[in-house]
Amino acid sequence: MATINALTFYENASIESIFRKVLKAGYDSVGILYDCCHYGVGQPDTYVRAIEALGSRIRHLHFSDGDRKTYALHFPLGDGNLDLASMTKAL
Please state, as a whole number, how many other Cβ atoms lie within 10 Å of the Cβ of residue 42.
22
- pLDDT tens track, the chain, 91 positions: 666 666 554 555 666 676 677 677 666 777 788 899 888 888 888 889 989 988 888 889 999 999 998 877 889 999 999 999 999 999 9
- How far is Cα 76 from Cα 27, in angstroms, rounded to an integer? 34
- How far is Cα 6 from Cα 35, in angstroms, rounded to an integer? 9
Whole-model pTM: value is: 0.76
Buried-state track 5-24, b at ≥16 Cβ within 10 A, e below 16: ebebbeeebbbeebeeebee
pLDDT of residue 3: 65
